[in-house]
Amino acid sequence: MTRTIFILLLLNSCIKTNPNTQKENEVENSKKIELKDDLSKSDNYYEEEHDTVNYAIIESNNDIIVYYNTKLFLNFFGYEKPNTNLKKIIHFSMYTNYVEENPFKCKFGTFYSSETLDNLQIKFTASKNNFIKAKIIDWKNKETNVFFEKKWIKFNR
């Protein structure tokens, strides 16, 4: 009988988690939650912080320029149609993994800035409701329409 109790106590002590390991796991999990929360802030959060956002600029010659600044938030898409639920065809982002991996499978890719566009040019053509219409011109002069949400665009005219 005492042998059985001893074995049960031994098993119970083996099953218990080391308190230091448990605390380390809690701290690690809270760090993951903080990181996720920081990266998943809504667009509205950054819209309110105008001095922390990097906007695309429409120049007087209708060129759309996106400058890269590591201190300013940058993460927006160009869509096939003026609807954010439809196909994304180009992406500007400050996140290296987005630029290197193009996880949204945008036809034209993901870029830090317009300076890094590979033989592409973006020209403003019109304004339509909450979107601006532009055309992406490739190195063969083939034009593709693209729509950007106005909240990411500033006019420099």
- DSSP assignment of 86-141, as one string? S-EEEEEES-HHHHHH-TT--SS-EESSGGG-SS-EEEEEEEETTEEEEEEE-TT-
Whether the CB-CB separation of 157 and 57 falls below 8 Å is answered with: no
Strands 75-79 and 88-93: antiparallel
- pLDDT tens profile 130-146: 999 999 999 999 999 99
Nearest residue to 109 (alpha-carbon basis) of 77, 66, 132: 77
Please tell me whether the overall predicted TM-score, pTM, comes out greater than 0.95 for this model: no
- pLDDT tens profile 85-113: 999 999 999 999 999 999 999 999 999 99
Look at residue 5 in the predicted model and tell me its pLDDT: 53
Nearest residue to 122 (alpha-carbon basis) of 109, 140, 134: 134
Look at residue 10 in the predicted model and tell me its pLDDT: 47
The ranges assigned to domains in the chain are 2-39, 43-155
What are the pLDDT tens digits along the chain (157 aa)?
A: 555 554 544 445 544 444 554 544 444 443 333 333 333 444 444 444 446 688 899 999 999 999 988 888 999 999 999 999 999 999 999 999 999 999 999 999 999 999 999 899 999 999 989 999 999 999 999 999 999 999 999 988 6
Look at residue 81 in the predicted model and tell me its pLDDT: 97
Nearest residue to 78 (alpha-carbon basis) of 132, 156, 143: 132
Cβ-count burial 120-135 (b if 16+ within 10 Å, e if not): bbbbbeeeeeebbebb
Look at residue 7 in the predicted model and tell me its pLDDT: 52
